[in-house]
Each structure stands twice: as C-alpha cells, then as structure tokens.
Amino acid sequence: MSTNIADGEQSSPQTSSSYDSSTLARPAVDEACICVRAGGRQILIDRGIDPDTGDRGESESTGGGEEEGEVDPDGREVEPAKRGRISGLSEDARRRLRQTVHAVDRNEDLLFVGLTWHEVMPSPDEAKRALDRFSKKLKRALPPAAFIWKLEPQERGVPHFHLFLYGCGWIDPQAISRLWHECTDEVSEQHRKSGVDFEWVNGGQNEKLAAYLAKYFSKNNDYAFGTEDEPWDWPGRFWGVRYGSDMPWADWAGWRVQIHPSEAARLISELLDEWNVDGIPDGVIPPSLMICTRGDPLERLDALVDRLD
C-alpha cells in the first residue's frame, strides 16, 4: 500500500499512466530517502528496500476508482474497462487529478480555458466527442498543444470543460472560440464569439494556480440530476490528459536526501497522524508518501529535513 498526500490530504495511489508513464512514475529507490520534483510541486518520502526482507513491506497498490485512459495514435483517449460505472468525480479521482496537475513544470506558461455551450444541452458522451474533435483541430493548428481536462456540469446541467492548456504561448481567443464553435452543434453568433473563456497564467505564478485548484477541486462531486436513465447519472470519466507526451512534465531531481529507514518511517507516520488520514490500519506505515505542495517543494523539503534533527 502506498499513500499520496496533496496539500495535507490523503490521496489514493497514483498509477503510472499510459500516456507518459516514464515521466509520471515515481523514481526507483533502494535506500530510504526524500525525492523532489523540483520543477513541479511534489515530494516523495520513501522508506526504501528493507535490508532484512529485501522488499518494501506492504505491496504497491494501483488504487481504485477511475483509471487513466489509453490513448490512440491520434491522441484520442479510449475509455478503459472499469469496475462498475462512474457516477461522479470520486475523492480518489479528484486527488489523482490534483497530483497530475502538480507533476507539471510550475515554470511553464499555461492557459486556463473554459469550453461551454449556450443553447444546446449535450449529454456527457456527446460533450466528450466534441472535446475530441476540438483537441484534434487544436493539435493540427498548434502542434505543441497538450492539456489536462476536467468535466463538470453547470447548475442547469449543461457540460462545461476546464482545460490546463500548455505549449501554445498566447492564442487569439476569438480564433479558439471559432474553432470550438465548429466542434459543437451550436449555431448562434453569440456562441461563436464567446463559447470559450480564457485566463493567461505566466510561468511561476503559483498563487494563481493554487487559487484555481482550491476553487475547482473543492467543489461538490455529487452530480446526480435525475434517475438512472438521465445521462449525468453515469457520465463516465471526469478528467484526463490529451497529448501527454507533449506535456511539460517536471523531472525528478537527480539528487536525493538520504535518510535512515527509521527516520522515513517516523516522518511518514507523523505526517499521516497530523493530517488525520483515514483508511490505513493501525500500526501500518506505508512504504512511501507523496506530498503535493502549493508552492516551491524545496521550501517544504527544508521543513521536513528540520523535523529530523
């Protein structure tokens, strides 16, 4: 069992995603240490391999809930097999979404983009097909483009997408709005001109990203709008990554803070207790702990090392 923590909250284990497993995977370690994704916002405390048993104690779990999607050659996400139908954005999926966002290089410029409908009310499946068309058109127009997407309904039940868009530099909002308009069944001039919302974030503006995360990741995840026959009762996946191989993932630092296995175990145990993390049996200390930080992970690293003195 491994444990991930995002801003002091428990998160289910992160699986190595199919779109870029080499970048998002945790670093392989033999000795107890603290690893840092210096360009991102993540710290990994690892107990290493037990010299007496030759293993890492509890076996690694791949977690439950929504699984990351396969990606076809065109960059289209293929819905994976699931353990039952997805009826909402689970805590597990929400925290893994946050962890994926925190794995991106925090010095990269990005656009927060909102895609919506005005007069048409598509089902979640229809909305995702529109997003698929949009992503292909965007990629043809701007080959470096890559993004993380999140689906949520507006109060009236109309789907709305939020995108973390990277690799594009500044984009003419009207041009992107026209492109999005072409991917929907909307016919109004209003939608053609204003079906897209933009907010530009220069690299390193951690406060703005933190504010976005706090706003959109703390929302109520209960998206039920009616009976089982209603499309929002079983909408499928609520987030994903398009063109992940082009995402500016932050590298794990080549150096590590070596610590004693007992120090790693104590540090993990203390943090889990302080954050009141549930779901871990009494007396069990996970082999590793992932921490997502709102700011510079090196500052959090200093605070962790000070606790060992």
Residue 45 has pLDDT above 90, yes or no: yes
- Compute the average pLDDT of residues 170-180: 88
Dist. CA 151–CA 127, nearest whole Å: 9
Residue 86 has pLDDT above 50, yes or no: yes
pLDDT over 90, % of the chain: 34
| 16 and 130 belong to one structural domain | no
| 91 and 207 belong to one structural domain | yes
Structure tokens at 149: 């997407």
Beta bridge partners of 5: 10, 291
Q: Which of 18-32, 113-127, 170-184, 233-247 has the lowest mean pLDDT?
A: 18-32
> Quick one: angle between helices 173-182 and 124-141, nearest 10?
130
pLDDT of residue 217: 57
Domain contains 53: yes
Domain contains 144: yes
Tokens 């870029």 appear where?
A: 20
| 128 and 228 belong to one structural domain | yes
The residue ranking higher by pLDDT, 283 or 150, is 150
Classified as helix, coil or strand, 106 is coil
For 35, phi and psi rounded to 5 degrees?
A: -105, 150
Instruction: Output the DSSP codes for 213-254.
Output: HHHHHSS------SSTTSGGGS----EEEESGGGS-BPPPPS
Instruction: Output the DSSP codes for 140-205.
Output: HH-TT-EEEEEEEE-TTS-EEEEEEEES--S--HHHHHHHHHHTSS---HHHHHHSEEEEEE-TT-
70: Cβ contacts below 8 Å, ≥ 6 apart = 18, 77, 78, 80
| 130 and 200 belong to one structural domain | yes
For residue 154, the enclosing domain spans 87-246
pLDDT of residue 70: 35
| 301 and 203 belong to one structural domain | no
| 302 and 259 belong to one structural domain | yes
Q: In which band, very low, low, confident or very high, does the pLDDT at 22 lie, cut at 50, 70 and 90?
A: very low
Residue 149 has pLDDT above 50, yes or no: yes
93: Cβ contacts below 8 Å, ≥ 6 apart = 65, 66, 237, 238, 239
208: domain CATH number is 3.30.70.1910
